[in-house]
Structure formats: C-alpha cells, structure tokens
Amino acid sequence: MPFTSLTEKLAALTGTTTETEVRPRYEGNNINTWIGFKHVNYMVEEAVLAHFRAAGLPSRTLFQEYGLGLELAELDTRILNAFHLDETATATVRPTGDGASLAFAVSLSKDGKNKDVTAKVRVALRRERYVDPADSVPSELAPYAVERIATAAPVRDAELVPSADLGLTATHRTDPLLKELVEGGNAIAWRWRVSYPYCHNNERLQMSGYLRLMEEAKDRFVAHRGISIKTLLDERKWIPVVPRSSIRFLDEALMEEELHIVFTVEDVFKDLTYTSRMDCYVIRDGKLVPTATGTIVHGYAVFSDRKDWALVPFDEHVLTALRGE
C-alpha cells in the first residue's frame, strides 16, 4: 500500500527496513569475472536509492518537487566475499539515524543468509538553488534539509594558478603546492579538473565520482612505484583486492574546479594488506579547502584459472615499492 502523506513517507524512510534485489554492472568487471570495490559500492548506493523509492520519496521527486538533492555524504563499506558477474544479491537497508540525520546500515547477501557486504551510509538532503532559489522544502522535510553537504575549515592560504592544460600534467613532481602536500609522506598527488561526467545536480562532484578517483589514485600510485596493475597481472597473475573502503564529504567540489588529490600509503600490515588515504582539496577564495577524505585497504590475490583465486602475501619487491624504500 503506497504511503500518501509526507509524514507517512518519512516514517517509512526512517523507521522501516527494506529489501531489494541488486546486481553488479558489467562495467565493473575488469579482471576475469570479479567485480571491483567501486561497483560493489554502486550496489550499496542503488540499495539506498531503492529504500527512498519504497518510502515514496525517490530522488527525482525530492529534486523536482521539493528542491532537494539526495547526496551520499559518507560511505564505509566492508567486502567480506567477492562478487562476480551475473550474481544477484538481496540488499537490506535498515535506518540507523538519530531523528536528525539520515543514516542507514546496508548489507548485501547472495544466499539470503550470510552477509557478503556490509556498509554504513549517511545521506544528506541538500537544498538545490541552482535552478530556482526559492525555498520549496516542506516543513516535514525541513529538519533533514541542509544548505551544504558539509563545510570544512580551510587548511591554509593558497593561491590558485589555473593549469594551462586543465590539470592533465600537474603532479607532485611539477606543481609546487602538490609537492608541499606530499612532503614527508609516502604519497603521490596530482591536479584534476572536476569534469561534468563525475557530477550531478548541475554543479557538484558526487560520491560515485570520488569512488572513481580513489580507484584511479591506487592505479597511479602503483604505476608510480613500478608495480602497475598490468605489470603484476602479466608477470604474476596478481590482482588487487579490497576488503574495505570509506569516503566522507568535508565540503563540496564544484564542476570545473581543480581538485588537488593526495594519495598516501599510511600503513603496511605485515605482508598481507596496506591502508591508503585519499585527501582532496580545492583552492577557493585564496584558501586551501578540503572537500573529501577516505581510506582504502588493499591486498593481492593470485588467480589460478578463470574462476578461482587465493590471497598471497607481499614479497620484498612489492613491500619495498609500497613503502617507498
């Protein structure tokens, strides 16, 4: 039975658990038939969007009728078992908010019994004034509406010198500010112009955009250290695996701003996993402003055929590269 009033819809959104069927997308299949962490997170996102639809508050209605953009503002995901092409999962979304926030616990299960993925998600309903500055938010939704997804304090003064080539070649080796940002850390950095395909709601970089950047950051880092993904694939049949990832908005990044991205390896745990942090900044009004931060845990697996793989420990060559020694 569909919910009719906004009060009923909000009660369903914040007080009921929903289940929906999700399936990984074909684009997320990069190696054999396994699905990467980015697309596992896309399934989590789809489950949350389905939860809003089930409550009668789909993202389209929120935007068109009430001037609210649905934003995944925080995402923390643990992958307990790998996903393959064509596998279907039951996604369970349980509200965990405190009455003043929209937070959810999400789990994905392939067999309906065991959890293959667990995630914590925080959603922001951002007032959209780009098209129409008028306030269209009804009183029932007003407690959850925000003017900005997040507002971070500037880190320091910084002068923006726009890249001559839209940030295509600016790295910590060529850009003075990026060089400062990686100084003393086991890190790489580059500048990137926030492009239209990574944005939504007319102006902002969205969560899926940050997931794509985190994937690119890992790719850049290992290539920089001489152990690129293709190198280890060709030489050893090693593939990167991700048991956990997280991203949190600290501010907003706007279309065509230049993002300063720093990827730092923080910790190598024995010879099994390493944890990296991605920090993103823009220069706005003469200040360096953080827009997002996140972490990702990586290991390696070796595949023996088109279906099976097993975790492998790092050898000295890989450990040296990861540590920057």
Judge whether 245 and 293 are in contact, CB under 8 Å. no
User: For each of the chain's 325 residues, which pLDDT tens digit applies?
Assistant: 577 899 999 999 999 999 999 999 999 999 999 999 999 999 999 999 999 999 999 999 999 999 999 999 999 999 999 999 999 999 999 999 887 789 999 999 999 889 999 999 999 999 998 888 888 899 999 999 999 999 999 999 998 887 777 777 788 988 899 999 999 999 999 999 999 999 999 999 999 999 999 999 999 999 999 999 999 999 999 999 999 999 999 999 999 999 999 999 999 998 999 999 999 999 999 999 999 999 999 999 999 888 888 999 999 999 999 998 7
CA 185 vs CA 178, 179, 277, 303, 323: distances in Å:
12, 10, 11, 32, 10
Contact 280, 290 (CB under 8 A): yes
263: three-class secondary structure by DSSP = strand
How many angstroms from the chain centroid is the CA of residue 12? 26
Q: Which two tokens stand for residue 221?
A: 């880092």
Give the per-residue pLDDT at 228: 97
Same fold yes or no, 1-148 and 150-324 = yes
* pLDDT score, position 1: 58
**Cα 191 from Cα 204, distance rounded (Å):** 17
Backbone torsion region of residue 70, taken as left when φ is above 0, otherwise alpha when ψ lies between -120 and 50, otherwise beta: beta
296 closest CA partner among 33, 30, 41: 41
What does the domain layout of the chain look like in residue ranges? Answer: 1-148, 150-324
Domain 1-148 has CATH 3.40.50.2300: no
Helix (H) or strand (E) holding 284: strand 273-284
Verdict on whether the full-model pTM lies above 0.85: yes
Given 3.10.129.10, 3.30.70.260, 3.30.200.20, 3.40.50.1100, which CATH number is that of 150-324?
3.10.129.10
Long-range Cβ pairs for the range 91-94 (8 Å, 24+): 91/19, 91/20, 91/21, 91/22, 91/43, 91/44, 91/46, 91/47, 91/50, 92/17, 92/18, 92/19, 92/47, 93/17, 93/18, 93/19, 93/20, 93/47, 93/48, 93/50, 93/51, 94/17
For the four alpha carbons of 205, 210, 212 and 214, in that order, the dihedral sign comes to positive
